[in-house]
Amino acid sequence: MKKYFIGGLGSNVYHSKDFLQELDSIACFINPYEKYFRDEIELKSWFKKEIVGEESICLIGHSLGGDLARYFASEFQEVKKLILLDGGYLDLDKILPLDTELEETKNYIKSQNLSDIDILISKEKSEAKHWSKNMEEAVRHSYHWNVQYNRYELAINYENTETLLQLRRKIQAFKRKVGNTLFISPRYPNEVAWIEEALKELPDYFDTILLENFGHELYTEAPKEIASLINEWFYYSQ
């Protein structure tokens, strides 16, 4: 069964390469963040084109990609298995207003600029639990050079992001019924109340794994370990 992967906001194809190559079957990275979706119809149309010709797939989603993956799994019968990596389970309306999320996202994108990307790469490498050539490329492809201002800027299109964040509120992935599902998340130290509540409300039919000493970016922190958990689940959930 072919696997498709949707990363979180700001991810690119290089972030997931180490992880995807550890999976037991072919896995493809698909990127909704390069597109502008006016509504759910355009979102579904995009996904339909990405999986054209497929009859049976496994969909993996991380963070915001988890919300999109759970939504697609509820709308497309081709999605036979769903894997959520710390995503697809939060009711954002309980956490912060949409206007606040949009404003914070816009300010974050604007603030992420730098003159020397190699300094950032050295910093990321020194702090990373896992590092490789792919991770270096992931950082390089996360920025683009602005000739006018003579600096690197975060390669995230805010208009595209804004529509996806708005659509996330609308599709309410956290309450959608799906089929065969594996949920993997860090067990955050001193978990805030809204995470605790959301984890308690996970459906009983989810196979749930909570991991100690992991952060939100679990598949880039430990690609082999996360892939191994998925491969094992996949084998036993046939």
Rounded distance between C-alpha atoms, residue 172 and residue 181, angstroms: 17
Specify whether 33 is located in the same domain as 83: yes
Specify whether 120 is located in the same domain as 44: no
Rounded distance between C-alpha atoms, residue 148 and residue 107, angstroms: 20
Q: Is residue 165 part of a domain?
A: no
Structure tokens at 83: 């894997």
Please tell me what DSSP assigns to residue 232.
H
Q: Is residue 84 part of a domain?
A: yes
At residue 194, does pLDDT exceed 90?
A: no
Specify whether 142 is located in the same domain as 218: no
Specify whether 76 is located in the same domain as 191: yes
Specify whether 80 is located in the same domain as 144: no
Specify whether 56 is located in the same domain as 109: no
Element (H, E) at 234: helix 223-236
Q: Is residue 167 part of a domain?
A: no
Specify whether 69 is located in the same domain as 84: yes
Q: Is residue 57 part of a domain?
A: yes
Domain count, the chain: 2
For 49-67, the pLDDT digits (tens) are 999 999 999 999 999 999 9
For 16-34, the pLDDT digits (tens) are 999 999 999 999 999 999 9
Rounded distance between C-alpha atoms, residue 225 and residue 130, angstroms: 11
At residue 15, does pLDDT exceed 90?
A: yes
Give the model's confidence band at 192: pLDDT under 50 very low, under 70 low, under 90 confident, else very high: confident
- Sign of torsion over alpha carbons 70, 76, 82, 85: negative
Give the model's confidence band at 193: pLDDT under 50 very low, under 70 low, under 90 confident, else very high: confident
> Cβ atoms within 10 A of the Cβ of 238, count?
7
Report the percentage of the chain scoring pLDDT > 70: 100
- Sign of torsion over alpha carbons 54, 135, 231, 213: negative
At residue 191, does pLDDT exceed 80?
A: no
Q: Is residue 110 part of a domain?
A: yes
Nearest to 161 by CA among 28, 37, 30: 37
Q: Is residue 34 part of a domain?
A: yes
pLDDT confidence of residue 10: 95
Specify whether 45 is located in the same domain as 146: no
Q: Is residue 75 part of a domain?
A: yes
Mean pLDDT of 202-209: 96
Specify whether 88 is located in the same domain as 102: no
- Give CA separation, 137 vs 14, 172, 216, in Å: 6, 33, 20
**Cα dihedral 130, 133, 134, 138 in deg (nearest 10):** 90
Nearest to 10 by CA among 220, 205, 232, 191: 220
Average pLDDT, the chain: 96
At residue 92, does pLDDT exceed 90?
A: yes
Specify whether 102 is located in the same domain as 87: no
| Helix, strand, coil in percent for the chain, rounding step 5 | 45, 20, 35
The CATH number that applies at residue 199 is: 3.40.50.1820
For 95-122, the pLDDT digits (tens) are 999 999 999 999 999 999 999 999 999 9
pLDDT confidence of residue 196: 87
Is residue 16 within 8 A of residue 70, CB to CB? The reply is no
- Determine the structural domain holding residue 117 and report its residue range: 98-154
Specify whether 118 is located in the same domain as 178: no
Specify whether 86 is located in the same domain as 109: no
At residue 70, does pLDDT exceed 90?
A: yes
